[in-house]
Structure 1
Amino acid sequence: MSEERNYVHLVPPLFEQGSLPDFVQSGRSVGASLSPLDNAIGVFVGPSEKTMLAPTQRRAQEGRMYFASMHKPPTLERRLFITDTSVIFAAFQNLVTNSKARGPEVLRSDDGMRMMGKLANDYVNFCKECWVHASTTTTHLPPQHYNTLYTSFSLFTTLYLPPNPALLDLPVSDDLLEWLNIHFIEPSTEEGDALVMNEKCWEAEGFWDYLLRTTLRHLTKATTFFLNLLSTSHPSPHLRSLSSTLIPLLASHPRLGEFGSEREFVVASKRWKSSVKGVRIELDLVPEDERGGEEGEGEWWTNLSDLVGILEGREEVVLRVVGELGGDWREGVGVWGWVDGRVRRGDLPDILPPILNALPPDPTSVEEMLHLSLFKGDTLEALKWAEKLDPWLAAHLGDCLQALELIGEGDGEEPSARDHYIISYAHYLHSDPALWRLTVDYMCACGDVGKGMGDEVLKRVPLRLRGSSASKQTPLGKGKEREGEGESIKRGEVAGVLKEINQTCWEYGREEVRRMVCRIAAQEFTQEKEYGLAVSYCTSAEDWEGLGRVVDKVLEEYVQRGPAIFTRLVASVAPSLQQLRVQPSAYGPYIHRLMFAVRYAEFHQRLGNQDWQEAALDLIGMFCDDVVPKSWWAVLLGDAVDLLGYQKAMLFSTSGVCVLLQKVEEIQVRTEQGSGDDYLTVLARVTKCGGIKEALHRLKRVRLALARYFARCTVIDVGGKEGGFRGVKG
């Protein structure tokens, strides 16, 4: 998408420039729709609302689809950067949450500040690693981008989150100089090597620039090395003498870290500055006609005067030299310690005006404007520039700034500045559907508003429950019965996304979303005939009506495909039954229906194993336990026919036979009363015998089998072989 005039440029174009009237007159229009998967936009062509076209014309004009995105999805190396730094973000959230739970003052204690500083420094180090990696490989983003992130986050930690909280109350000059020397290296090592190779280095172009810059940057070893050459080799005796004086003076320049207290540092600095005055006096005593040199020796006195002016801490000299050497205002701030070595972080906004007057910033440089806002202490302005530089930077800087109480936390109705930039970054992550977990992590770190947005992302994560095995299925009715169904699910390839969504919902307390996703998953598993998983996820979602529909699907397998496949499919459901039995009684009807499916499958399994006695006991047990739906009574009674006719043994007891006879009589009576559909529809479908009338006729086989069974019981009773059947009359 182009930001210019909010246009979306379509390639190839729908029509040539200037042809818009013809496009409108053709009865077509352009529509757009947001993708539910990411933040992409689908642009399509269709008939306008005012135009009524025939279906054939409509199809001819439709069909072209364009895709645009509000953000360019992250590349591979960018995705690695995002995922790795998200670990630091998660650790920072845990630190803030745990600290606030212990009291509001814990986070701002020395230990809390130290931990925050460590994590912020982890961001800095990781940006540095990415910059080094990008400098040695071909990446989508230029190395300079990661270097800018590295420099900017490092400046933030230097000013607001140093590794040692005690530094916040101490002068900041040394820290700023260190930051400057790390991120804006001047002069280069190559410049110094080139000068060393020159026997008369003072005659080389750039010699004094090099010496002045090493002095500004407090690169004492480099400065004293060349001063030593001047003290021994330069033709001017005045310069040799002055160089000899400056060498020990520079070596003894006091630094704050060398003293046990700031007071000791101040005293030592005053003494040192007094010594510098002596050098200035000696320099001013050099006669005017000897302040230059012979041909080729250069004007040494002016340059040495600037060097001494730096040591004296003369503001105008320091800023002028920085400008003449090509430095910018950041270098002016970094070397300000020569002017005032006691400047503190809170004093930085006050020292900026003279520096900016002498060294104006570049208003077109986002990096410079960000750094300037950080030096000024204008944190909200800094976040605006950070977002223009990279939404990642704005999100993580804002997170740290709010923890430091340097930006507000919002009023509850509107998101805070931190939340605004983190959500904006999360929208950027949403351009890559594979980063859904991180998108939700960042959104859920932003209060109720962010969690609501995270809910919408979770609802739309593709579950991808249909694995590659679906393409290898054998068509139904042609040999092998779809034995590959759910194969990828059993291998655990698809449960990963679903499990991760459940875990995310649990972590952030998104119970309603978790249940919705489980219901959707159960529907997918049902379609894939993975009934065990479907039951499990219905239970997890507490979707009892959905559980009832799954059971109906399971029982439909018996009607459509017979007992063998039905038994195999129900085997995956049985393990869930034990868990379901402990559910509240309000959901009993659904659980009893599932119990029937499992027990009915066990019954057919025993029939297949020719375990006739146990099968008969199962049949009677299902009726006695009242788990058989009335619509299935006739089917089970039909299953009893072969068991009743078994010749090698009497499989049913007197009471059992009476139960069967009672069910047959009830079906007969209810059918005569007009309720035959409630009892005989399933039997009619299973036997494919026709309608209710034909199904009722098939029950006569059950009556006949019962009559014969009673007859056998009577004979056995007379013979005295089966005492258990005494009193049974035909």
Structure 2
Amino acid sequence: MPAAEYLTLAPPLVEAGKFDELVKAGQTVSSTFSSSDNSFAVYITNAIVPNAAKGRTGEEEQPIYFASLYSPPSSERRLFLVDTLIIFAAFRNLLKNASMQEPGWIQGDQSLTMIRKLSIDYVNFIKECWVHASQPIPRPDGPLQFSSDHYRSLYTCFSLFVVLYLPEPGYEQAPVADELMEWLNTHFIEPSTQEGDQLSALDCPWEDETFWPYLTRAILRGLSKASLFFLGVLERHPSDNLQRLISTLIPLVETQPRLMNFTAERDFAHAIRRWSEKVKALRIEMDRVPENSRFDDFDNWWDKLSDIVGILEGRQDVIQRVCEDLGADWKEVCVAWSIFVDPRMRRQDIPEVVFQVIGDMPPDPTDLEDMIHAALFSGQPAEALQHAFKLDSWLSAHLSDIMESIQLIPTDVDEDSGVSLRDQYILSYAEYLHSDPALWRITVDYMYSCGQVGQSRADEVLLRVPLKLQEQNSDLKVDSQIRAGEIVGVLKDVNRTCFEYKRESVRRTVCRIAAQTLVFDKDYGLAVSYCTSAEDWRGLARIVDRVLEEYIATGPRKFTEYALAIAPSVKELRSQSTIQGVFVHRLIFAVRYARFHDLIQKQEYQDAASDLVAIFVEDVAPTSWWAVVLCDSVQLLQYSPALLFTSSGASLLLQKLEEIFVRASQGAADDYLSVLVRVLRVRGEKEALERLKTVRLALARYFGRCLVLGVGGT
């Protein structure tokens, strides 16, 4: 079903005929499009500056309407859409394999057999849906979104397409009559079984007004069993002439040649000629019946029997008149034509016959199903797609997919739209699927089959898939999986889709989006995992900066919690040579510094002192953090039970401290003291330097203790 051409809001935002009043008041109707599900928010807004608006104030509350171009699929409809994707995917794989074969392979018997098989799979699946929708069972969710009659229409159209355009390999040039009659009798059952049961219960059924129409319809439809039964009943008719003619007619109906009963078409054609001669003989015999003997007490039996013989003779005028009298349409005339008028009619001959018939018996323009049938019979697949799109975009999408593969429609890309005819219908169907955000997986499957335009649209869909990261974080099992380096949940599905369609740039962007979301929630550990997956090293640096900002803003406790959460990523990142060193060093510093504060909180001072020295030895601390780290050393330098630093370690601390004072005196104070100023919340660099003098004093006392004890530290 195509998108709605207009949206109807109830109650209306503006009464009919009053839009000019709204404009005079300085307002208009606006809308905002949602790219997540193709819906709209519709509301009244100011058309000019609010202060200049008249009649209504800017603060006046206005309703917001939410509308959609499509009706999102219901649960049962969604099941139909998802399940048929399996067949679509198999068909795409077939075409993918065809691209690796020799040119023209797709038109060979092997591939056409597979295409026919997959098309029949579509037909069988639609049939199952139709049968299910037809069952009178209680439906808790209310009536079906699409009725059983809708699926019946899909069933008749798709099966007709298979009959006309996908014959079994080797039978492309074979007569098509039997297949057409089977299709007609399967989908448009006439005469009804109930009529036959009622007539068979009568002692003299020919006295019933429905008898001859029933018998004629049975002959016309090739229903030999029913035809022979009621012809046999006429052998008890009071007219001796009729009995005599029936005794000749029964063998003719019983032995009418059918292609399926012959191994060679030549034998079939020969049998048709001999059989036709016998029908002509029956006509001669009928003409000998006197005029006054052609009636019984109820009707002119001779005229009724003459119509039946006229059908067997293949007289076009009789077949068309009889079909009109019986209430049949152009389809039945065309199928009967292939049985009685031209039993050797090929598929390529059908359009010419249809053209003759629909001139007098046109299809119903208000019935989309009938219009699709007419277009398919007429050899106009592109026109059939137009009507199919109006009936159900699912039908036009899947028919066009097959039509393009067997060269029924052009494959040329339109210069304006950048898509082919097939892609146009596939993308329209994908837009319908996009009305339900939960169907994003199959939406992109269809879009990615449509060249660059489809790929760009699918990329945008993937970028807007709700990742539901908050739900993942509430699950401890999922949380541990992510920390172990495994991407799970919706993001895992998005990653798999990107990998399948080789959309690496999209995958990285999605991971960056996930990382940004987690940073907002202060889940820095998971954010680093996603940044790593996206190879977003600048984003990783921003996360480290955010973690370090936590220290500045709230102190060591929260900082330690956040920084240790990203510790598991350090080992993996250090092993990747592609990462720029500056990003790794900042991350290592945050983790090492957090570990230092964690050891302080646990009162493991010896290990804490070793870590503090290692931060400088390994040169992972940014120069702007040197002063902060040195201030943290005061507590350890003043620790009385034991000397925690070696002489070389203490000397290194003194060296870094003196470098800060020297650089500050040379005009580079901002590079070394900016963070300390913020941590101490002092007014400027001068006060920060004064605080650093406590570190110098603590180091002097530490060296003094070393001299008194006669040791160089432990």
TM-superposition CA deviations, 1:614-643 (whole Å, max 9, x none): 322222112111101112212222232233
Q: CA deviation at 1:400?
A: 0.7
Q: CA deviation at 1:54?
A: 8.2
Aligned to 2:73: 74
Aligned to 1:152: 157
Aligned to 1:46: 45
Q: Please state if 1:659 is matched with 2:652.
A: yes
Aligned to 2:220: 216
Q: Please state if 1:314 is matched with 2:308.
A: no
Aligned to 1:35: 34
The counterpart of 1:627, out of the listed 610, 613, 620, is 620
Q: CA deviation at 1:386?
A: 1.3
Kept in 2, the 8 Å contact 1:465–1:494? The answer is no
TM-superposition CA deviations, 1:17-71 (whole Å, max 9, x none): 4433432222222223322323223322122227634899643345332333322
Q: Please state if 1:525 is matched with 2:528.
A: no
Q: CA deviation at 1:342?
A: 0.8
TM-superposition CA deviations, 1:535-577 (whole Å, max 9, x none): 1222232322211110011122233344343333233322222
Gaps of 5+ in 1: 470-483
Aligned to 2:88: 89
Aligned to 2:63: 64
- Please give the alpha-carbon distance, in whole angstroms, between the structure 1 residues aligned to 2:49 and 2:629: 62
- Please give the alpha-carbon distance, in whole angstroms, between the structure 2 residues aligned to 1:521 and 1:468: 12
Q: Please state if 1:106 is matched with 2:111.
A: no
Aligned to 2:241: 238
Q: CA deviation at 1:584?
A: 4.2
- Please give the alpha-carbon distance, in whole angstroms, between the structure 2 residues aligned to 1:565 and 1:155: 70
Structure 1 residues 486 and 676, CA, compared in 2 at 3 Å: closer, same or farther? farther
SS of residue in 1 equivalent to 2:44:
strand
Structure 1 residues 272 and 500, CA, compared in 2 at 3 Å: closer, same or farther? same
Q: Identify the range of structure 1 (595-604 vs 204-213) with the bigger mean alpha-carbon deviation.
A: 595-604
Q: Identify the range of structure 1 (587-596 vs 51-60) with the bigger mean alpha-carbon deviation.
A: 51-60
Aligned to 2:186: 182
Kept in 2, the 8 Å contact 1:667–1:679? The answer is yes
Opposite residue 655 of structure 1, the aligned amino acid is: S
Kept in 1, the 8 Å contact 2:426–2:450? The answer is yes
Kept in 2, the 8 Å contact 1:319–1:358? The answer is no
TM-superposition CA deviations, 1:135-160 (whole Å, max 9, x none): 22531222211111111111111111
- Please give the alpha-carbon distance, in whole angstroms, between the structure 2 residues aligned to 1:249 and 1:265: 15
Aligned to 2:332: 331
The counterpart of 1:286, out of the listed 266, 286, 289, is 289
Within a 5 Å distance, the mapping from 1:713-728 to structure 2 comes to 713-717=706-710, 722=711
- Please give the alpha-carbon distance, in whole angstroms, between the structure 1 residues aligned to 2:475 and 2:662: 43
SS of residue in 1 equivalent to 2:10:
coil
The counterpart of 1:678, out of the listed 671, 681, 684, is 671
Kept in 1, the 8 Å contact 2:467–2:514? The answer is yes
- Please give the alpha-carbon distance, in whole angstroms, between the structure 2 residues aligned to 1:432 and 1:519: 25
TM-superposition CA deviations, 1:162-220 (whole Å, max 9, x none): 3x222322111111101101111101111111111112111112111111111111111
Kept in 1, the 8 Å contact 2:2–2:393? The answer is no
Q: Identify the range of structure 1 (617-626 vs 406-415) with the bigger mean alpha-carbon deviation.
A: 406-415
- Please give the alpha-carbon distance, in whole angstroms, between the structure 1 residues aligned to 2:53 and 2:693: 59
SS of residue in 1 equivalent to 2:59:
helix
- Please give the alpha-carbon distance, in whole angstroms, between the structure 2 residues aligned to 1:461 and 1:369: 39
The counterpart of 1:274, out of the listed 265, 273, 277, is 277
Structure 1 residues 82 and 310, CA, compared in 2 at 3 Å: closer, same or farther? same
- Please give the alpha-carbon distance, in whole angstroms, between the structure 1 residues aligned to 2:53 and 2:281: 99
Aligned to 1:479: none
Within a 5 Å distance, the mapping from 1:396-545 to structure 2 comes to 396-411=398-413, 413=415, 414-467=418-471, 496-545=489-538
Structure 1 residues 624 and 485, CA, compared in 2 at 3 Å: closer, same or farther? farther
- Please give the alpha-carbon distance, in whole angstroms, between the structure 1 residues aligned to 2:360 and 2:48: 63
Kept in 1, the 8 Å contact 2:547–2:563? The answer is yes
Q: Identify the range of structure 1 (510-519 vs 200-209) with the bigger mean alpha-carbon deviation.
A: 510-519
- Please give the alpha-carbon distance, in whole angstroms, between the structure 2 residues aligned to 1:175 and 1:20: 59
Structure 1 residues 485 and 259, CA, compared in 2 at 3 Å: closer, same or farther? closer
Higher relative contact order (CA closer than 8 Å, sequence separation 6+): 2
- Please give the alpha-carbon distance, in whole angstroms, between the structure 2 residues aligned to 1:200 and 1:559: 105
Q: CA deviation at 1:446?
A: 0.9
Q: Identify the range of structure 1 (250-259 vs 520-529) with the bigger mean alpha-carbon deviation.
A: 250-259
Aligned to 2:211: 207
Q: Identify the range of structure 1 (672-681 vs 76-85) with the bigger mean alpha-carbon deviation.
A: 672-681
- Please give the alpha-carbon distance, in whole angstroms, between the structure 1 residues aligned to 2:259 and 2:16: 68
The counterpart of 1:596, out of the listed 577, 580, 589, is 589
Aligned to 2:694: 701
- Please give the alpha-carbon distance, in whole angstroms, between the structure 1 residues aligned to 2:475 and 2:307: 84
- Please give the alpha-carbon distance, in whole angstroms, between the structure 1 residues aligned to 2:688 and 2:705: 27
Kept in 2, the 8 Å contact 1:464–1:494? The answer is no
Opposite residue 440 of structure 1, the aligned amino acid is: V
Q: Please state if 1:261 is matched with 2:264.
A: yes
The counterpart of 1:353, out of the listed 352, 355, 359, is 355
Structure 1 residues 326 and 512, CA, compared in 2 at 3 Å: closer, same or farther? same
Kept in 1, the 8 Å contact 2:7–2:69? The answer is no
Opposite residue 198 of structure 2, the aligned amino acid is: A
Structure 1 residues 527 and 672, CA, compared in 2 at 3 Å: closer, same or farther? same
Kept in 1, the 8 Å contact 2:283–2:309? The answer is yes
Structure 1 residues 3 and 693, CA, compared in 2 at 3 Å: closer, same or farther? closer
TM-superposition CA deviations, 1:670-716 (whole Å, max 9, x none): 23334333323333444456643343333233223322322232233
Aligned pairs, number: 702
- Please give the alpha-carbon distance, in whole angstroms, between the structure 2 residues aligned to 1:62 and 1:455: 37
Q: CA deviation at 1:518?
A: 2.0
- Please give the alpha-carbon distance, in whole angstroms, between the structure 2 residues aligned to 1:657 and 1:57: 75
TM-superposition CA deviations, 1:222-269 (whole Å, max 9, x none): 1111122222x2222232333333333322222212221211222222
TM-superposition CA deviations, 1:336-377 (whole Å, max 9, x none): 212111111111112123322443322332222221111111
Gaps of 5+ in 2: 137-142
Kept in 1, the 8 Å contact 2:537–2:579? The answer is no
- Please give the alpha-carbon distance, in whole angstroms, between the structure 1 residues aligned to 2:636 and 2:529: 34
- Please give the alpha-carbon distance, in whole angstroms, between the structure 1 residues aligned to 2:461 and 2:97: 27
Kept in 1, the 8 Å contact 2:36–2:465? The answer is yes
Opposite residue 153 of structure 1, the aligned amino acid is: F
Opposite residue 457 of structure 1, the aligned amino acid is: V
Aligned to 1:141: 146
Q: CA deviation at 1:79?
A: 2.0
SS of residue in 2 equivalent to 1:46:
strand
Q: CA deviation at 1:661?
A: 1.0
SS of residue in 2 equivalent to 1:205:
coil
